[in-house]
Amino acid sequence: MLKKDLLDINSLTKEDILSILEEGERMRDAVESGAKSLDALRDRSVATLFYENSTRTKNSFENAARFLGANVVSVSVGNSSVKKGETLIDTGMTLERIMTDAIVIRHEVAGAAKLLADNVKCHVLNAGDGLHAHPTQALLDFLTMKEIFGGFEGLEVAIIGDIKHSRVARSNIEGLKKLGANVRIFAPNTLMPQGIERTGVKIAESVEEACDNADVIMGLRIQLERQKKGLFPSVGEYVKYYGITKERVALAKKNAVVMHPAPVNRGVEIASDVIDSDKSYIYRQVTNGLAVRMAVLKMLIIGGER
Ligand code: CP
C-alpha cells in the first residue's frame, strides 16, 4: 500500500513496485487505445513545481494528470514568487491553499521533496531531487523491462556512465535489487561513487565486461559541462573507453536492449546508430513514463482500487 508521498524507491516494497507496474500496464493499455479523458481524478488538482529543467518528466506528469481528468497547475518557477525569495515550504503551503491534491516537485537539492512532504498535507511526488532519487524514472524503466522480458528475476542489467551524479542510477539499483535482477555498473573512476559495491552491484572492469551477456544496457547522461572540472579527459576518450557502440551491444545477449533516461548526448554515451536501431527503447521509455505517472498519481490520490 502506498503511503502519502512518493519520495524514493527505497520506501517502496517489492509488492508496492509490482502493483504500480500492474496499474501502469492498465494505464498504458488505456492511453494506447485512445483514452485521453478518463475520470479517475475528476475534481482533483495536481501542481507541478520544477526548479530544474525537464522535458519528459514535467510534461508526462502534466499529461498524466490531464488524461485522468485532473486540473493541472504548472508553476513556472522562473516567473513565480520564488524569484522574490519565497521559501520552498511557503510555496508548497500556498499551492495547498488553492486546493491542490498533489504537488510534483523537481529540485536541485537532495531532500527537498521530503522537506516539502513533511510540511504539507497534500501528496508530494518526487520528480528528481539533486543526486538522491528519481523514483518515477526508475518505475518507468522497470515497466519497460517488464514489457520486454516479462519479469526481473535473474535479469542482467548493465548501467554505464556517470553513476556518481545519477539519481536515476541510484533509484534503479535500489529497485532492481528488490525485484531480483543483477546489476553491473561501469564508469570512469572519477564518476564512480565510493562504497557503491555495498549496494550489491558488480563493478565491471571495462565497458566490454559490463556489456557481456547483458539483457539490458542502460546508458546515463554525461553532463558535458562537467568537462571543465576534468572528470574525464575528453569527449573523444569517453566515447572510446565508455561509449555504447554497436560492437559493444553485440557482446550482450541476442535479444538485449538499450535504454537511457534521456536527454541523450548523441554520439557520446550512446552511438547515434544504436539510438536509432531497433535495439533502442528510449522512446518506449517515454510512453511508459506517461503510463507509470498516471498510475502513481491515481494510486496516491485515490488509492489502488480501479
Ligand atoms: N529523464 C528525465 O528525467 O528527463 P527530463 O529531465 O527531460 O525530465
Q: Whose CA is nearest to atom 6 of ligand 1?
A: 54
- Give rounded-to-5 percent helix, strand, coil for the chain: 45, 15, 40
- Rounded CA separation 224/229 (Å): 10
54 alpha carbon – ligand 1 mean position (Å) = 5
Rounded to the nearest integer, the mean pLDDT of the chain is 96
Question: Phi-psi bin for 111: left (phi > 0), alpha (psi -120 to 50), beta?
Answer: left
Say what the pLDDT of residue 306 is.
40
| Cβ–ligand 1 contact at 219 (below 6 Å) | no
| Catalytic residue check, 226 | no
Say what the pLDDT of residue 228 is.
67
pTM above 0.85, yes or no: yes
Say what the pLDDT of residue 305 is.
42
- Rounded CA separation 215/47 (Å): 37
Mutate to test the pocket of ligand 1, among 48, 50, 52, 55 (most ligand atoms within 8 A of CB): 55
Name which residue leads in pLDDT, 36 or 225. Answer: 36
217 alpha carbon – ligand 1 mean position (Å) = 18
| Catalytic residue check, 106 | yes
Is the confidence at residue 94, as pLDDT, over 60?
A: yes
Say what the pLDDT of residue 223 is.
72
Q: What is the mean pLDDT of residues 265-269?
A: 95
- Rounded CA separation 17/23 (Å): 10
Helix (H) or strand (E) run with residue 176 in it: helix 167-179
Is the confidence at residue 226, as pLDDT, over 70?
A: no
Q: What is the mean pLDDT of residues 87-112?
A: 98
